[in-house]
Structure 1
Amino acid sequence: MPDPRKILVIQTAYIGDVILVTPLFSALKQHLPQVWIECLTTPAAAEVLRNNPHVDRLIAYDKHGSRKGLSGLYRLMRELKSNQYYMVLAPHRSLRTALLVHSTGAPIRIGFDKNCGAWWYTHRCRYDSQQHETARNLSLLSALGIHADSLPPEIYPDAENRTAVDQLTADAPKNSRWVALAPGSVWPTKRWPESYYRELAARLTADGCTVFLLGGQEDRPLCRRIAEGLSSQVVDASGALSLRASAELLRRCRILVTNDSAPMHLASAAGTRTLALFGPTVPAFGFAPYARESVVLERTLECRPCTTHGSRRCPIKTHACLAGITVSMVYDQLKQMTSKR
């Protein structure tokens, strides 16, 4: 018999999507304090949720590794069924997620109506394309008669994360002029040009700022090229910090300049102002930076948006959406934003 306290949340999309689902955990614990919340997510994104007081258990679904393919999916479905959940919420909109939700056998299965597997849900909530993703995720609670107030994303670095950042920044000047740049993205068309990031870093260090280059292991070659030959005030932190440690570093920075990618949402969880550069995607999709006083720079072009997530190549082979955002435009906007404090 399902345990009425057990709730499963499924979000196995990108790291940024998992960051933006954290307000849902907070709201569940706020309105239903007795529940036990488990989250099914990817191994990479699980790091974002560790130490979160609103998540009682993490289940890693390595859909591209140990659990890939139909056999891995079937094993996971059997495991979820045996866990006896009473309620499952599915912010992630995919057929595979809907199948996993159905496989649990939970009496209450909540998801969005805009999903090709929505018929497997007992409660279908309207997907409002005009809302920020955090608000959309919270709207799933309306199926339970709960109307949660807007909540920011959350991330919880621990002592080990703080120590890692202390060590990385030990030689950096202890002032308020720390700026983070996050030049990477899984999608090449969402990256502001590498040469632009390099020029911006040079201009910022000339102003006396310390610049930290953030990214994962996959971003190390990119960040190394940007930092090469520049001032020692450019610190390449790519691949050196976990996601939660990166959030801790962002918390200590005055501002982040980033593409439309996961670091933008890490900064929102850290409460750090963000200057976000949008190209093939648009903020209206619901993924704008959440942190207060953040700014989006974008160009008005007939070809935008050309994709919902990003792509490998520009469809019209110009990359005008991001190449047209000049270094001077970004630098001047940074000056305006930092002059407010």
Structure 2
Amino acid sequence: MKRILVITTRQIGDVLLTTPLIRAARQHWPQARIEVLGFQGTLGMLRGNPHVDALVETPPRLGAKGFWRLLRQLWRSYDLALVAQSSDRAHLMGWVAAPLRSGIVPGGSSSAWWKKALLSHVVESPGDQSDIHVTAEKLALMAPWSTEAYPVPEVVAPRPAALPAAIAAQLQAGAVVVHAPSMWTYKQWPLAHFAVLVEALLAQGRQVVLTGSGSARDQECVAALRGLASAPQLLDVSGQLDFAQLTALFAQAALYIGPDTSISHLAAAAGLPVIAIFGPTNPQRWAPWPARATTQALFARSALVQQAGNVTLLQGRQACVPCSHAGCEDHVDSRSDCLHDITPERVLAQVERLSRPGAASPASPGFRPA
């Protein structure tokens, strides 16, 4: 294989969780040129990735002209396409790009027959209720060509880049990074809970660093917290750091607290102790993947508190957890009662526990009640 295209046309977190597949391809074909195709605005997690030679960005909505332009650009330009998403568009782009294709298709779907017909190797996805983490599922795309096993995924964080001087000067040892925003309402831990959490951390004398993007939604979430104290005790860096600079921030922080979102995945990959607040999402499938994991079976489907490596994960008490739906009403703006059930006091108890020597990185990286 001289030219390989990895197709990952989903959100930022999904792109990051494709890095174990990209790393495996680089290990198997060290001289190949590996390019990654994804939506504009989602590939920042891969900038500076040592296993990627180029990024191919495409608008989420192409239109007829954009489609034909991309078709001409991709037509048989690669020897192999690794289609890491099950969408129609991803599979069509794979067919256009390369004569040899390995791809993920939705298991049990009667409409997946044409995708299977286009593939040299098929990986059937068991779906979000399964116990197979998405990183392991993507690695299975390499099965036909690799004589080595890739049993344990390794998520590759962006290389750290220097923090802005004004932020670096105010950053204190032992800082706690708090990421409040979620992209979707049904994954959003209540901002009132975040406020209680931040006030308690500040009362303990900890520096709290607020992260988030510059988007209107993220800024609305951060705005509910930034007035709780002044800098440097409460340091708002939202909208000021790219992913490489966030990796540098995580290298200097003591702890990260956040919801089911891409930045929680990044913090876990960077090796920072992470407290992840999960709602309806199945952690066996979507939990932040710990750094330096040594086994694929890391998380239980449901536990009030569990820890795997540097990741501590909290869930609600409801019998339906995790339902794998978009909240209680099954739409992106839905409430999730299981998230409201996770109190700030429960999170603070884990902060206290992880502050004890050795608690953040247990010797056994697999699931254990925390």
TM-score > 0.5, shorter chain as reference: yes
Q: What residue number does 2:158 align with? A: 156
Q: Report the residue type matching 1:142 in the other structure.
A: A
- Are residues 1:327 and 2:327 paired? no
Residues in 2 aligned to 1:209 and 1:154: alpha-carbon distance in whole angstroms: 29
2:268 and 2:310 in contact (8 A); partners too: no
Residues in 2 aligned to 1:203 and 1:231: alpha-carbon distance in whole angstroms: 15
1:198 and 1:227 in contact (8 A); partners too: no
**Cα 1:169–1:47 shift into 2, 3 Å:** same
Residues in 1 aligned to 2:340 and 2:80: alpha-carbon distance in whole angstroms: 46
How many angstroms does 1:70 deviate by? 3.5
How many angstroms does 1:130 deviate by? 1.9
How many angstroms does 1:168 deviate by? 1.0
How many angstroms does 1:256 deviate by? 0.9
Match of 1:88 among 81, 85, 88: 81
Q: What residue number does 1:246 align with? A: 246
Task: Within 5 Å, give how 1:300-315 maps onto structure 2.
Answer: 300-308=317-325, 311-314=331-334
2:18 and 2:135 in contact (8 A); partners too: yes
Tell me the secondary structure at the aligned position of residue 58 of structure 1: strand
**Cα 1:309–1:30 shift into 2, 3 Å:** farther
Q: What residue number does 2:166 align with? A: 167
Q: Report the residue type matching 2:120 in the other structure.
A: T
Identity of aligned residues (%): 30
Tell me the secondary structure at the aligned position of residue 131 of structure 1: coil
How many angstroms does 1:76 deviate by? 1.1
Q: What residue number does 1:224 align with? A: 223
Residues in 1 aligned to 2:141 and 2:187: alpha-carbon distance in whole angstroms: 29
Residues in 2 aligned to 1:100 and 1:46: alpha-carbon distance in whole angstroms: 17
1:133 and 1:287 in contact (8 A); partners too: no
1:205 and 1:231 in contact (8 A); partners too: no
Q: What residue number does 2:257 align with? A: 257
1:202 and 1:231 in contact (8 A); partners too: no
Match of 1:49 among 38, 46, 51: 46
Tell me the secondary structure at the aligned position of residue 284 of structure 1: helix
Tell me the secondary structure at the aligned position of residue 169 of structure 2: coil
- Are residues 1:74 and 2:75 paired? no
How many angstroms does 1:229 deviate by? 3.4
**Larger deviation: 33-42 or 242-251?**
242-251
Tell me the secondary structure at the aligned position of residue 180 of structure 1: strand
Tell me the secondary structure at the aligned position of residue 235 of structure 2: strand
1:216 and 1:238 in contact (8 A); partners too: yes
Tell me the secondary structure at the aligned position of residue 275 of structure 1: strand
Q: What residue number does 2:103 align with? A: 111
How many angstroms does 1:237 deviate by? 1.1
Q: Report the residue type matching 1:267 in the other structure.
A: A
Residues in 2 aligned to 1:309 and 1:76: alpha-carbon distance in whole angstroms: 32
Q: What residue number does 2:299 align with? A: none
2:269 and 2:289 in contact (8 A); partners too: no
Residues in 2 aligned to 1:225 and 1:261: alpha-carbon distance in whole angstroms: 19
1:112 and 1:126 in contact (8 A); partners too: yes
- Are residues 1:208 and 2:205 paired? yes
Q: What residue number does 2:313 align with? A: 296
Match of 1:99 among 85, 92, 103: 92
Residues in 2 aligned to 1:30 and 1:308: alpha-carbon distance in whole angstroms: 36
Q: Deviations over 1:230-257 (max 9, x none)?
A: 2431111111111221122122211111
1:217 and 1:238 in contact (8 A); partners too: yes
Residues in 2 aligned to 1:112 and 1:11: alpha-carbon distance in whole angstroms: 11
Q: What residue number does 1:340 align with? A: 357
Unaligned runs of 5+ residues in structure 2 are 292-308, 359-370
Q: What residue number does 1:281 align with? A: 281
2:326 and 2:332 in contact (8 A); partners too: no
Unaligned runs of 5+ residues in structure 1 are none
Give me the TM-score of the superposition, normalised by structure 2.
Answer: 0.82
Residues in 1 aligned to 2:10 and 2:101: alpha-carbon distance in whole angstroms: 19
**Cα 1:163–1:57 shift into 2, 3 Å:** same
Q: When you count helix as a share of all residues, which structure comes out higher?
A: 1
Q: What residue number does 1:142 align with? A: 143
Task: Within 5 Å, give how 1:178-189 maps onto structure 2.
Answer: 178-189=175-186
Q: Deviations over 1:185-234 (max 9, x none)?
A: 11011011101111111111111211111111121221122121324311
Tell me the secondary structure at the aligned position of residue 228 of structure 1: helix
Tell me the secondary structure at the aligned position of residue 281 of structure 2: coil
**Cα 1:41–1:309 shift into 2, 3 Å:** farther
Residues in 1 aligned to 2:89 and 2:105: alpha-carbon distance in whole angstroms: 15
Residues in 1 aligned to 2:325 and 2:245: alpha-carbon distance in whole angstroms: 29
Residues in 2 aligned to 1:306 and 1:337: alpha-carbon distance in whole angstroms: 28
Residues in 1 aligned to 2:144 and 2:94: alpha-carbon distance in whole angstroms: 16
How many angstroms does 1:123 deviate by? 1.1
Q: How much is the aligned-residue C-alpha RMSD, in angstroms?
A: 2.0
How many angstroms does 1:43 deviate by? 2.3
Residues in 1 aligned to 2:268 and 2:278: alpha-carbon distance in whole angstroms: 16
Q: Deviations over 1:57-83 (max 9, x none)?
A: 11111224xxx223322321221105x
Q: Report the residue type matching 2:287 in the other structure.
A: F
